[in-house]
Amino acid sequence: MNSFFHYQENSLFCEEKSIEEIATKVGTPFYIYSYSYIIQNIQQLKKAFSRYNPLICYSLKANPNITLCRIIASYGLGADIVSGGELYQALKAGFPSEKIVYSGVGKTPDEIKYALEKNILFFNVESEQELQEIKKIAEKLNKRAKVSIRINPDIDANTHHYITTGKKENKFGIPFPQAEKIYKEASKIPGIDTVGIHMHIGSQIKNVEPYLEALQRLKIFIDKLTRKGINLSYLDIGGGFGINYREKEEKFPIEELSEKIAPLVPPGMRLIIEPGRYIVGNAGALITKLIYKKSGKRKEFLIVDAGMNDLIRPSLYGAYHRIIPVKKSLKKYGKKVDIVGPICESTDFFAQNRQFPAIESGELIAILDAGAYGVSMSSNYNGRPRVAEVLVKNDNWWLIKQKESYWNLTQGQIVPTDINLYHREIMLPASPSSIEFWKMEGAGNDFILLDNRDEIIKKRAELAQKLCQRKKGIGADGLILIERAKQADFFMRIFNPDGSEAEMCGNGARCAARFAYLKGVAGEECTFQTLAGPIKARIKENKVKIKMSDPFDFKKEVKLRIDTREYTGYFINTGVPHFILFYESVDKVKIKETGFKIRSHKYFHPDGTNVDFVEIKDDGILIRTYERGVEDETLACGTGAVASAIISHLIYNLSPPVKVKMKGGSVNVWFESNEGSRISNVFLEGEANITYKGYLNGGDYV
């Protein structure tokens, strides 16, 4: 164990939070991560390699959870990616595109195009054909592509043969003689900038010698290229730094590596390292529950509710993980056991012939050192939903990924309507004949609300696109679905008219709270989940007051050049991103035209932003909002009202509560302003009214 996972009074804690307490609210199995341990690992890496001013690129394949990635990005790290999906995740998490390095042997044309459009730092090229493909796509886009060549140094990293990547028989990298030819050709290709050299010799490496041997070969090769007039800017030595999976093991000696590679890093070349496991591996654990004990002829089995679909490393690599009871046993060790899961495979085990304390069914077990290659390699095998993820910092904890539901298992699957199904009437259950909906509005922001706790609605995005149309549907600014939540009264999911799912909507949240109250789902005071986090609400007649998430990511005086004009505004995230501009008269602004240009500006890629146009009035502020997803001006926007009120306070010293007037009505915004620009305890209050009620016929979307 480590100081971040430890026993207090015989109960296992992550930092200062009881794992048993979290399990009662989240349910098992689930992954749990220590915030402080992740930061400690980042700081150790920065300190060890500080002499080189390195670019540290976190390897997303280790664990792509957006919250963890945002934390890592906030400490100035870049990202090492191996697919278009990881590029999307990296950008979503906030890694700057100019700090993203794209590795991987099988980059598709679409992925290359996507990366060039996002202006990543460079590609680590794995073959001559890949280089030609990058050249062709860069020419079509009229862009210059920066590349680095990945070398296969033919080094044995002395690790598991499944995760060694630097030997000549591996699929990765290019041998030195072929690489020299490619460097010469690349230097003559218009539109290609050859900026670096790359190696990656394996994962879970425990000593520095393989790196030194490989770097010595690279140094000789770099000197040879320099003599031929090919000068490189980046030396990317990859990652693969091992962690301790056993009690007496040591983590990889990064300080020793940093010291010994000094003569091998050519002057003028910036060092890049790509750690993944080293940052998150020891910081995570998989918490599971003992379901049954089963005695066989030769051994005893402890059957837990996690399986190889949740953590495949022991089955795939024969990997060892420390496993301990969450409630420390005072009994003597029992006989050796196999700790196994419920999957229908004999390889579904976490430990074999392991001596383990005697515990009873229903008790919790922690599989340690599971922060890397746990969630990222998990699957839905045997029809098992992927598990929840939790982050702990000191004595606080957050659910950072909900457990999947059975609905997720069939999401995206399509049964063709014209397929000839035998006994179709038996195989396909009929849709309900009608589904009640309510039309509600808050300050003119209107929504269609449905109770979807029984998951009647299957195709949420498609239904939103159909129903929200003003001419051919019911017409609304969004579709709100009330669904089940383990840690709250309900979960609010909100879909824009274009089918995209929004993280949060203040006016929508007020309507959702009153709808849930009138439907008997929640009381006058309730808590519900959103993609932006938990929300608390208080309902009194037709007025609803909700506690919003604390705003973050405030950026002062952001300057955007659009066409020939420069716009200066303020950025803040109040659950969704908002860009605020101040005008003497907002009535004179071309909201749709200006809002669309700003919403689509590359500064806000990949997700875009809402745009609020604000006018300071004697008794508050007047705002008009261009809303992404709606792609037009809306009569009101709750998160926009909050964002505009807070920015007006920070810039023009408006005191809370701030009265916010919108075309559709008015709301009041409360908050506390602390030192600097820190805002907390944010509340939004306004009316949530029922417009009418109706029924939907069942169909293709349910």
pLDDT at 247: 87
Is beta strand 533-540 parallel, antiparallel or unpaired with respect to 543-547? antiparallel
Helix 109-117 and helix 84-93, axial crossing angle in degrees, nearest 10: 20
The topology (CATH level 3) of 424-545+691-697 is Diaminopimelate Epimerase; Chain A, domain 1 (3.10.310)
pLDDT at residue 357 is higher than 70: yes
Residue 371 has pLDDT above 50, yes or no: yes
Q: How many residues does the chain have?
A: 702
pLDDT of residue 296: 74
Annotate 224-258 with b (16+ C-beta within 10 A) or e (fewer).
ebeeeebebebbbbbbbbbbbbeeeeebbbbeebb
Instruction: State the average pLDDT over residues 67-90.
Output: 97
Cβ neighbours of residue 290 closer than 8 Å, sequence gap 6 or more: 302, 303, 304, 359, 360, 361, 362, 363, 364, 365
As to burial, measured by CB atoms within 10 angstroms (0-12 exposed, 13-18 middle, 19+ buried), residue 50 is: exposed
- Beta strands at 679-687 and 665-673: parallel, antiparallel or unpaired: antiparallel
The tokens describing 226, both together, are 């320099």
Known catalytic residues are: 344
Classify 165 as helix, strand or coil: coil
Find all residues with CB under 8 Å of 107, minimum gap 6, and list them: 115, 123, 126, 130, 133
Beta strands in 141-283 (DSSP E): 145-150, 192-198, 234-236, 270-273
- Give the per-residue pLDDT at 322: 96
Query: Cα dist. 589→58, 326, 466, 593 in Å?
Result: 43, 60, 31, 9
Residue type, 661: K
The total of other beta-carbon atoms located within 10 Å of residue 303's CB is 17
| More reliable by pLDDT, 156 or 321 | 321
Q: How confident is the model at residue 435 (pLDDT cuts 50, 70, 90)?
A: confident
Average pLDDT on 568-594 reads 94
139-148, 159-168, 350-359, 542-551: segment of lowest average pLDDT = 159-168
As a whole number of Å, the CA-based R_g of the chain is: 28
pLDDT at residue number 333: 59
Is 92's pLDDT higher than 90? yes
Label residue 688 by pLDDT band (50, 70, 90): very high
Contacts of 208 by beta carbon, 8 Å cutoff, 6+ apart: 253, 256, 257, 260
Average pLDDT of the residues in 612-631: 93
Same fold, 424-545+691-697 and 552-688: yes
Q: Which residues contact 592 (CB under 8 A, 6 or more apart)?
A: 626, 632, 633
Q: Which of 370, 246, 242, 211 is nearest to 306 (CA)?
A: 370
User: Is a pLDDT exceeding 50 seen at residue 619?
Assistant: yes
The pair phi, psi for residue 613, each rounded to 5°, is -105, 120
What are the sequence ranges of the domains in the chain?
424-545+691-697, 552-688
pTM attached to this predicted model = 0.65
Q: Give me the helices (H) in 300-396, please.
A: 313-317
Q: What is the pLDDT of residue 424?
A: 44
- For 177: left if phi > 0, alpha if psi spans -120 to 50, otherwise beta; the answer is alpha
Mean pLDDT score, 573-593? 93
Instruction: Tell whether the model's pLDDT for residue 287 goes beyond 90.
Output: yes
What is the per-residue pLDDT across 18-54, written as a single tens digit (0 to 9) for each? 999 999 989 999 999 999 999 999 999 999 999 999 9
Give 222-259 pLDDT, tens digit per residue: 999 999 999 999 999 999 999 999 988 888 999 999 99
Residue 94 DSSP code: T
CA nearest to 548, candidates 641, 695, 651, 684: 684
C-beta separation of 63 from 41 below 8 A: no
**Looking at residue 432, what is its pLDDT?**
42
Count of beta carbons in the 10 Å neighbourhood of residue 619 = 9
* The pLDDT value given to residue 426: 42
Peptide bond preceding 657 in cis form (omega within 30 of 0): yes
Q: Which CATH class is domain 552-688?
A: alpha beta
Residue type, 446: D
- Distance (Å, rounded) from C-alpha 365 to C-alpha 351? 12
Rounded distance between C-alpha atoms, residue 241 and residue 252, angstroms: 6
Whole-number Å distance between alpha carbons of 275 and 239: 5
Cα–Cα distance between 27 and 464 in angstroms, integer? 31
Percent over 70 (pLDDT), the chain: 93
Q: Is the peptide bond before 29 cis (omega within 30 degrees of 0)?
A: yes
